[in-house]
Amino acid sequence: MITGLIIAGGVGSRMGGNIPKQFMDAAGKPVIIYTLLAFEKNPNVDNICIVCVKGWEDKLQAMIKKFSISKVKWIVPGGNSSHGSIKNGVYFLNKQLNTGDIVIIHDAVRPIVPQIMLNELIAETKIHKMVCTAIPCYETIIATEDGKCGNVQINRSSIMRVQTPQAYNIELLYGGYKKAEEQSKEEYIYSNTMLIDQGNTIYFSRGFVNNIKVTTPNDVPLLESLLEYDEKDLMRI
């Protein structure tokens, strides 16, 4: 079984206003709906679990009904941090899923999700159990300690920019969060860095530059522009 774990537990403070960024409108739909529709469309995805910011569960249910998203099976409460929100979802799913099942973790505010990207991620995870979408780094990379200056260049060929979606075997994922809790190490943003710190190796599948994360108001017009493209074209530009 393959389950999409959509993280919508943040309040989006950098957006301003009273609406969490995942529920803001873009070209006639809430941002999260584009994300959910991509998982709904994929035939390899069996279920969707959403980690929802507290107080928005009823509004989310109404959106799901309005846009006829049938694969959403569970909604669980968000935590006090990114780590806490993902952990809530993982702990919940560990009780629902079976050995060998795959969980795809994805930010609700990354709404452009080409099907080919999901399919390649799933195929790689069936082999490696821990896979993240990633893209090469084309810019020059300079190390800095203060954010103001630097004098050491890092070889960009040794760098990968990791994104979501990320996919994991459920036992590996749950075991990682359990270990982090036992060690009181719960400051992680994403599961991949947590599992790497615990000695695991992450594999990469194809990401793409236009996998934007809606973080500030300036990102909404960009998203609306990108939504006009066919997803095959998006993977090329």
pLDDT over threshold 90, residue 50: yes
Decide if pLDDT at 17 tops 70.
no
Question: d(Cα 103, Cα 18) in Å, to the nearest integer?
Answer: 31
Task: Check residue 171 and give its pLDDT.
Answer: 97
Q: How confident is the model at residue 12 (pLDDT cuts 50, 70, 90)?
A: low
pLDDT of 65 above 90:
yes
The residue count for the chain? 237
Contact present, 210 and 237 (Cβ < 8 Å): yes
Return the SS3 of 205.
strand
CA 2 to the chain's CA centroid: 15
CB 64 within 8 A of CB 57: no
Identify whether 15 is part of a domain.
yes
Residues in CB range of 199: below 8 A, 6 or more apart: none
Q: Per the domain annotation, does 230 fall within a domain?
A: yes
State how far Cα 9 lies from the chain centre.
Answer: 12
**pLDDT score for 89:** 97
Range of the domain at 165: 2-134+161-234
Q: How far apart are CA 76 and CA 99, in angstroms?
A: 21
- 152 sits in which H/E element: strand 152-154
Q: What is the mean pLDDT of the chain?
A: 93
Residue 150 contacts by C-beta under 8 Å, 6 or more apart in sequence?
142, 143, 144
- Best CA proximity match to 76, nearest among 99, 101, 98, 94: 94
Q: Is the pLDDT of residue 14 over 60?
A: no
> How much is the average pLDDT of 207-229?
91
| Structural domain total, the chain | 1
Residue 39 lies in a domain: yes
Residue 195 and residue 173: Cα distance in Å, rounded?
Answer: 8
Residue 111, in any domain of the structure: yes
Confidence of residue 236 (pLDDT cuts 50, 70, 90): low
We report the CATH number of the domain holding residue 214 as: 3.90.550.10
94 falls within a domain? yes
Asked if residue 87 belongs to a domain, the reply is yes
Burial of 131 per CB tally in 10 Å (0-12, 13-18, 19+): buried
The tens digit of pLDDT for each residue in 146-167 reads 999 999 999 999 999 999 999 9
pLDDT category at 42 given cuts 50, 70, 90 is very high
Q: In the beta sheet, which residues pair with residue 50?
A: 6, 75
Percent pLDDT > 70 in the chain is 96
Please determine, for residue 218, whether its predicted confidence score (pLDDT) is greater than 90.
no
Residue-wise pLDDT for 66-81, tens only, equals: 999 999 999 999 998 9
Say whether pLDDT at 87 is over 90: yes
Please provide residue 212's backbone torsions phi and psi, each rounded to the nearest 5 degrees. Answer: -80, 150
Average of pLDDT values for 61-65? 96
User: Is 20 within the bounds of a domain?
Assistant: yes
Is position 141 within any domain? Answer: no
Q: What is the pTM of this model?
A: 0.93
Which residues sit opposite 72 in a β-bridge? Answer: 48
